[in-house]
């Protein structure tokens, strides 16, 4: 089964609306990270939330983490056409307190923001 599953797979909204993407995972984690990828490009790190944190903000981004439900959400407020991209969550698994440094990526959400 897949660590870091996301929903929805695709999201289409109008400029100015908020976009919410969800991520679920299966194992214990050190932290969870969100990345953005424009088509055919590399990934851009958006935000990292540690396992002992519940919410984090960065500009128009708000990330929540519920370790009891093993889930996270990414909210983009007041979306812009330039936010159109794929968004991935990635988990840094915790194995007995040791971070092996490997990230496991979710399947991603394709966000389209219409002007």
Partner 1 sequence: GAVVSQHPSWVICKSGTSVKIECRSLDFQATTMFWYRQFPKQSLMLMATSNEGSKATYEQGVEKDKFLINHASLTLSTLTVTSAHPEDSSFYICSARVYRLAGDNEQFFGPGTRLTVL
Q: Which residues lie near partner 1 (CB under 8 A)?
A: 30-31, 33, 35, 40-45, 48, 50, 88, 92, 99, 101-108
- Select 31 or 72, whichever has its Cβ closest to partner 1: 31
Smallest distance from partner 1 to CB 36, Å: 10
Smallest distance from partner 1 to CB 82, Å: 18
Nearest partner of 99 among 43, 42, 48, judged by Cα: 48
Whether 45 and 91 have beta carbons less than 8 Å apart is answered as no
Q: How many CB atoms lie within 10 A of CB 102?
A: 9
Query: What is the distance between the alpha carbons of residues 27 and 100, in angstroms, rounded to a whole number?
Result: 13
Smallest distance from partner 1 to CB 3, Å: 11
- Select 82 or 100, whichever has its Cβ closest to partner 1: 100
- Select 43 or 61, whichever has its Cβ closest to partner 1: 43
Query: What is the distance between the alpha carbons of residues 24 and 14, in angstroms, rounded to a whole number?
Result: 26
């Amino acid at each position: 089964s897949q660590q870091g599953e996301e929903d929805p797979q695709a999201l289409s909204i109008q400029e100015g609306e908020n976009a919410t993407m969800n991520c679920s995972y299966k194992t214990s984690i050190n932290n969870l990270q969100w990345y953005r990828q424009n088509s055919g490009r590399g990934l851009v790190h958006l935000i990292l939330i540690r396992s002992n944190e519940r919410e984090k903000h960065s500009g128009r981004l708000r990330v929540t983490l519920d370790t009891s439900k093993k889930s996270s959400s990414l909210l983009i407020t007041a979306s812009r056409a330039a936010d159109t991209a794929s968004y991935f969550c990635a988990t840094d698994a915790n194995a007995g307190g040791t971070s092996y440094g490997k990230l496991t990526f979710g399947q991603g959400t394709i966000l389209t923001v219409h002007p």
